[in-house]
Amino acid sequence: MNILEGVEFNSIQIIGTLVMLFISMLATTLLYSLLCKRWLHVKIFNFLIGPVALFGAYLWAFPMNMGFYDFFK
């Protein structure tokens, strides 16, 4: 049973999309920290960093119409 049958790791396309994923997550967390660090309590701010980064991943995946399965097809 080969679960990685259709995955091509030698392709340069996977590197570009992963770089864009990292940049989109970094940009959303940076924007969040610039806008909300001053007004939110430290514990609430730190608690919400994870969901904001996941929202950045969603912003990356939604325009590409990609899910986890489609990305690794």
48 and 32 in contact (C-beta within 8 Å)? yes
Residue 7 belongs to a domain = no
> pLDDT tens digits, the chain, 73 residues: what are they?
555 566 666 666 667 777 888 899 999 999 999 999 899 999 999 999 999 999 998 888 776 665 556 655 6
The number of folded domains in the chain is 1
pTM of the model: 0.66
Residue 25 belongs to a domain = yes
pLDDT at residue 4, rounded to an integer: 57
Residue 2 belongs to a domain = no
Domain of 58 in residue numbering reads as 18-64
Residue 31 belongs to a domain = yes
Residue 37 belongs to a domain = yes
pLDDT at residue 69, rounded to an integer: 60
Residue 3 belongs to a domain = no
Residue 70 belongs to a domain = no
Residue 6 belongs to a domain = no
Q: Where are the beta strands (DSSP E) in the chain?
A: none
